[in-house]
Amino acid sequence: MSKDSLTTGRFGSYGGMFVPELLIQPLKEVAEAFERFKKDKQAQAELQRLLLTFAGRPTPLYHARTLSDELGFQLYLKREDLLHGGAHKTNNTLGQGLLAQFMGKRKLIAETGAGQHGVAVAMIGALLNMPVTVFMGERDIKRQQPNVKRMQLFGADVVSVTGGSKTLKDAINEALRYYVAHSTETFYVFGTAAGPHPYPTIVRQFQEVIGREARRQILEQTNRLPKKVIACVGGGSNAIGIFSGFLADSEVELIGVEPAGGAPLNYGQPAILHGALSYALQDRHGNISESESIAAGLDYPGVGPEHSALKDAARAEYVTVTDAAALSAFHQLCTKEGIIPALESSHALAHAVSLKGKLKKTDLVIVNLSGRGDKDIDQLPPLTTHP
């Protein structure tokens, strides 16, 4: 993407700021503050200090030798599962929390579906001593009790949203209503590289650290660039984070993996959803349709606009993986490498597994392991026990 697109919020014809009049001024203030934040030496030093000493960066790049032998190419895992909080989301919530402080805001709000983004915001609110309110659908609160408890442990206020389908999109509507009324003192922490400008740009830039590190680490370890870089795509933040490190290396193939039950880039059409133009899942009347995935973090009918542009430009390829293939890859990583991956990350891994026998032994493949899977173990199909 050109430098220009990162300040105007346009990625080819995608992106933009399609929001009610009342939101335009607050969003412009966030965009303008972000430009100053990036150039502010003190703010950047504080971000670096906390990435290193609180979040635990850099995360390792791990050569998975047993699986490599089995698959017939060299598999490397970028270990975002080892980041504090258990997933790449901390890169974003820490960055946006510091941006909120830089703007003099006193309060953080967020919406959450499965609860993972809500937990990541609550954690940063505790760190930065800022009160946090998380809007969450009533149905999701019932389904995601452990994450509700985590948010409360960090001192966050979880507001139950009872309108509509009582899930994520109703929580987003409620959070936006609150934001319109309280934007003077409140910062809205958005969870993925989607939504209206400036969020796709802000989230991408806070996640770029994954790609920067991964590129440096693969060169240090092997002296070569990878043939493929693979990441799962929900809203697209972990994927754009690792892709950004290799975008300029035209020989590196970038592959985004969508869940088969929620694949806007594979099965959707361009539409305006949550403030931006991007691919989205729609029914035959053009209404946004529901997605369905075993991985809660990938269960979103839309996707960030930069991925739509990368797809149309054929700079990245987007494929799908079924729940069954993701589960199989999940178990393979558990038993072969001693790592429990998130079900989201297992989608990226499953695509790598599907390349078995198709690559040369010397080919390097990096999979972004976006998070750890401890959160998922109660949702697994029954395991067979041995007497």
Contact footprint for ligand PLP (CB under 6 A): 87, 89, 116, 192, 232-239, 297-298, 342, 344-345, 370-371
| Least spacing, CB of residue 235 vs ligand PLP, in Å | 4
What are the beta bridge partners of residue 367? 77, 230
How far apart are CB 104 and ligand PLP at their closest, in Å? 28
CB of 306 to ligand PLP, least distance (A): 12
Active site residue 89: yes
Longest CA pairwise span in the chain (Å): 64
User: Minimum CB separation from ligand PLP for residue 106, in Å?
Assistant: 27
Q: Which of 70, 374 has the CB closer to ligand PLP? A: 374
Residue type, 139: R
Give 50 or 193: the residue with its C-beta nearer to ligand PLP: 193
* Known catalytic residue at 370: yes
Q: How far is the CB of 60 from ligand PLP (least distance, A)?
A: 17
The residue (of 95 and 236) whose beta carbon lies closer to ligand PLP is 236
Question: Which residues neighbour 116 within 8 Å (Cβ) at sequence distance 6 or greater?
Answer: 87, 89, 147, 296, 297, 371, 375
C-alpha–C-alpha distance, residues 80 and 62, integer Å: 11
Q: What does the CA dihedral 253, 254, 255, 256 come to, rounded to 10 degrees? A: -170
Closest CA relative to residue 133, chosen from 164, 96, 179, 193: 179
Q: Which is nearer to ligand PLP, 74 or 293 (CB)?
A: 293
Which of 78, 89, 105, 228 is an active site residue? 89
Question: Are 84 and 56 contacting, i.e. CB atoms less than 8 angstroms apart?
Answer: yes
d(CA 290, CA 302): 10
Closer by beta carbon to ligand PLP, 9 or else 264: 264
Strand, coil or helix: what is 132? strand
Q: How many CA atoms lie within 13 A of 1 on its CB side?
A: 30
292 is a catalytic site residue: no
* Residue in the structure block whose two tokens are 């993972």: 116
- Minimum distance between the CB of residue 124 and ligand PLP, rounded to whole angstroms? 15
- Give the residue from 87, 137, 145, 97 showing the smallest Cα distance to 117: 87
Q: Which residue is nearest to ligand PLP (CB)?
A: 371
DSSP 64: -
d(CA 177, CA 215): 41
Helix (H) or strand (E) holding 79: strand 74-79
Residue among 227 and 375 whose Cβ is closer to ligand PLP: 375
Distance of alpha carbon 113 from the chain centroid: 13
Q: Shortest distance, CB of residue 212 to ligand PLP, whole angstroms?
A: 17
Q: Which residues have a Cβ under 8 Å from the Cβ of 188 and sit 6 or more positions away?
A: 109, 110, 175, 176, 179
From 78, 80, 105, 111, the catalytic residue: 111
Alpha-carbon gap, residue 104 to 258, rounded angstroms: 38
Catalytic residue among 228, 306, 370, 375: 370
**C-alpha–C-alpha distance, residues 310 and 308, integer Å:** 6
Active site residues: 89, 111, 370
